[in-house]
């Protein structure tokens, strides 16, 4: 007989779940809860999750039933589950699939529900009316052919996520294989969790698969999951990336790990406009327009290839215009890749409705424990603001205060101490303000990489860092995304973007490739300023993932 006191879960009436980490059933309970609840925070002893409509819809889209969720909570819960939470789970899970979207043989898109009153309710929703053509029989709603995404997005906003069964076009075929590994002589192989992610997305080609998001930590090989999905589908593919450096890395990975030839991979960026069977484009070029009210010049790229798959790298950063374009791309399979579904604009439900539900997720600490990503020690070092700067800080406006605190000159001296302590390591100094970074580059006689650095020069400096020729790089926000620096093991953050959790996660991700003694992530913060206040917010994502921040004063370093 199981003693309830040994069970690690407490479910509360505000839909939060507390999970005690000290006990033999912690991991089983964590894996159970993670399937239907969002992690809020995970410090040492008690992790907090929250059940939300979106987390339940993600679970329902993955095939979970309400009773399965409730049974999981009952199995691990120390106390009785509040009745309102049970009702909430049943109601929200039941909402997913009450409305189904399918395509008739004549090609007409149709929303269906066996609840005639729900159909009537939807027909009277102003948000839905621009996209529908009426109802033939009280159980079906005819949808305008090009409004599949807009209908799904409108419906999730009013609390009725659609089960999209309308299927996908196959796209033009593209036959290729994974390349033999030159060192081992074996086929390039996906890790177990990467293969699981591909299969979770594909779902054996059923209408339930083919669109959705894979969430993996930085350094865990999201690009490889994209390549594995392309190989599974064998179809022409459009890959969207954050910048030109990321674009070139995708191209290099495809050439290294597949039998695709260079002339089969096109670059669509500010530098080049090639459309090939695999075309890799940047979000920046897609959202370019000549004037604020002009059309987007390059949106035609979405239709110029017969794409069977569109891959959205760093999907949590998807610009609003690309969201809008994606609303009309619902007939194509869509794969989102990200380290976090957190969006600072709270548009996670747009990702759900327009890209697809979360299909696969692995906690950072799980992959760290398995050795796939490096162990990291995170340290916040608080530095004093000099008296003359404190006066300027006191009389400045909010933005001025943040800049003064971020560019505190004492941080430069502390950087010297840390770089000296890590002279045998590969160090990145990362910041937000160019004047501050230029000063540090001059101080250390180290290369500086910013948005203005030519792509060719960036790639040369990254190559020098990888080879060990350069041991220290000063980098701006361009380092936040898709920089392949597998040997970097020390990051020193001198300034960041207000309270961006995304940014903190991405910067830590620069040093999470597995390597010898582990990784160190230092964040330099001006004491008793808004810099310190924002740092608490930036740390939130990492503490959610189980990383512990130690806090030290500059005088102790």
Output the six-digit token pair for 128: 């839905």
**Rounded CA separation 300/291 (Å):** 17
Q: Which residue has the higher pLDDT, 270 or 363?
A: 270
pTM score of the predicted model: 0.78
Mean per-residue pLDDT of the chain: 86
Instruction: Judge whether residue 157 has pLDDT over 50.
Output: yes
Per-residue model confidence as pLDDT tens digits over 188-232: 678 899 999 999 999 887 767 789 999 888 778 899 999 999 999
Query: Band of the pLDDT at 1, cuts 50, 70, 90?
Result: very low
Q: What is the pLDDT of residue 144?
A: 92
Looking at residue 258, the DSSP 8-state letter turns out to be: B
Q: What is the pLDDT of residue 511?
A: 63
**Angle of helix 66-76 versus helix 83-95 axis, rounded to 10:** 150
Residue indicated by tokens 């040492």: 44
Q: What is the pLDDT of residue 65?
A: 96
Task: Tell me whether domains 192-362 and 371-556 share a fold.
Answer: yes
Residues 62, 93 contacting (CB under 8 angstroms): no
What ranges do the domains of the chain cover? 4-95, 100-164, 192-362, 371-556
| pLDDT (mean) for 117-128 | 92
We find that the CATH architecture of domain 371-556 is: 3-Layer(aba) Sandwich (3.40)
Task: Please give the C-alpha separations between residue 240 and each of 107, 244, 266, 284, 321, in angstroms, as whole numbers.
Answer: 29, 10, 12, 10, 13
Q: What's the CATH superfamily of 192-362?
A: P-loop containing nucleotide triphosphate hydrolases (3.40.50.300)
**Rounded CA separation 373/191 (Å):** 12
Number of Cβ within 10 Å of residue 79's Cβ equals 11
Instruction: Judge whether residue 143 has pLDDT over 90.
Output: yes
Strands (DSSP E) along 25-85, which ranges? 38-41, 46-50
Beta-bridged to residue 381, according to DSSP, are 524, 552
Per-residue model confidence as pLDDT tens digits over 32-61: 998 899 887 776 788 889 999 999 999 999
Strand order from edge to edge, sheet including 278-282 = 265-268, 278-282, 237-241, 309-312, 333-338, 211-215, 358-361
DSSP-based three-state secondary structure for 527: coil
Task: Please give the C-alpha separations between residue 367 and each of 77, 375, 435, in angstroms, as whole numbers.
Answer: 26, 10, 38
DSSP-based three-state secondary structure for 167: coil
Instruction: Judge whether residue 537 has pLDDT over 90.
Output: no
For 482: left if phi > 0, alpha if psi spans -120 to 50, otherwise beta; the answer is left
Instruction: Judge whether residue 399 has pLDDT over 80.
Output: yes
DSSP-based three-state secondary structure for 296: coil
Query: Band of the pLDDT at 503, cuts 50, 70, 90?
Result: low
């Amino acid at each position: 007989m199981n003693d309830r006191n040994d069970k690690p879960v407490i479910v509360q009436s505000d839909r939060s779940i507390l999970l005690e980490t000290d006990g033999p059933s912690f991991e089983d309970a964590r894996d159970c809860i993670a399937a239907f609840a969002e992690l809020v925070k995970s410090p040492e002893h008690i992790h907090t999750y929250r059940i939300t409509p979106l987390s339940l819809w993600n679970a329902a889209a993955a095939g979970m039933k309400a009773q399965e969720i409730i049974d999981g909570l009952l199995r691990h819960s120390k106390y009785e589950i509040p009745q309102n939470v049970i009702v909430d789970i049943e109601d929200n899970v039941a909402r997913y699939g009450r409305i189904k979207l399918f395509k008739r043989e004549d090609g007409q898109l149709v929303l269906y529900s066996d609840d005639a009153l729900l159909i009537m309710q939807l027909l009277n929703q102003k948000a839905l009316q621009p996209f529908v053509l009426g109802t033939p029989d009280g159980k079906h709603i005819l949808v305008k052919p090009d409004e599949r995404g807009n209908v799904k997005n409108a419906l999730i906003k009013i609390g009725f996520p659609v089960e999209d069964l309308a299927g996908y076009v196959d796209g033009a075929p593209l036959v290729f294989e994974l390349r033999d590994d030159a060192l081992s002589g074996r086929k390039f192989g996906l890790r177990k969790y990467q293969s699981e992610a591909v299969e979770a997305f594909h779902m054996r080609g059923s209408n339930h698969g083919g669109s959705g998001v894979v969430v993996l930590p930085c350094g865990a090989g999201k690009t490889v999951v994209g390549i594995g999905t392309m190989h599974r589908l064998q179809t022409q593919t459009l890959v969207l990336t954050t910048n030109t450096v990321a674009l070139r890395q995708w191209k290099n990975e495809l050439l290294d790990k597949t039998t695709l030839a260079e002339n089969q991979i096109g670059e669509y960026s500010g530098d080049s406009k090639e459309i090939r069977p695999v075309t890799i484009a940047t979000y920046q070029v897609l959202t370019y327009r000549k004037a604020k009210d002009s059309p987007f010049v390059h949106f035609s790229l979405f239709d110029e290839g017969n794409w069977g798959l569109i891959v959205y790298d760093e999907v949590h950063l998807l610009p609003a215009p690309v969201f809008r374009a994606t609303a009309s791309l619902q007939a194509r399979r869509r794969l989102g890749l990200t380290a976090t579904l957190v969006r600072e604009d709270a548009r996670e439900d747009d990702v759900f409705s327009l890209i697809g539900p979360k299909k696969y997720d692995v906690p950072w600490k799980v992959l760290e424990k398995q050795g796939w990503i490096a162990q990291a020690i995170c340290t916040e070092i608080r530095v004093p603001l000099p008296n003359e700067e404190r006066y300027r800080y006191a009389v400045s406006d909010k933005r001025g205060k943040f800049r003064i605190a971020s560019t505190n000159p004492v941080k430069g001296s502390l950087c010297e101490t840390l770089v000296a302590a890590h002279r045998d390591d590969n160090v990145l100094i990362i910041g937000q303000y160019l004047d501050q970074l230029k000063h540090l580059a001059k101080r250390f006689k180290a290369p500086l990489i910013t948005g203005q650095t030519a792509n060719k020069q960036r790639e040369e400096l990254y190559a020098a860092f990888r080879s060990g020729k350069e041991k220290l790089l000063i980098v701006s926000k361009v380092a936040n995304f898709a920089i392949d620096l597998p040997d970097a093991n020390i990051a020193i953050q001198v300034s960041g973007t207000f309270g961006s959790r995304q940014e903190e996660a991405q910067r830590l991700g620069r040093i999470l490739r597995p390597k010898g003694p582990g990784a160190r992530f230092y964040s330099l913060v001006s004491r008793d300023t808004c810099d310190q206040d924002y740092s608490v917010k930036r740390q939130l994502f990492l503490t959610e993932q189980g990383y512990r921040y130690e806090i030290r004063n500059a005088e102790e370093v």
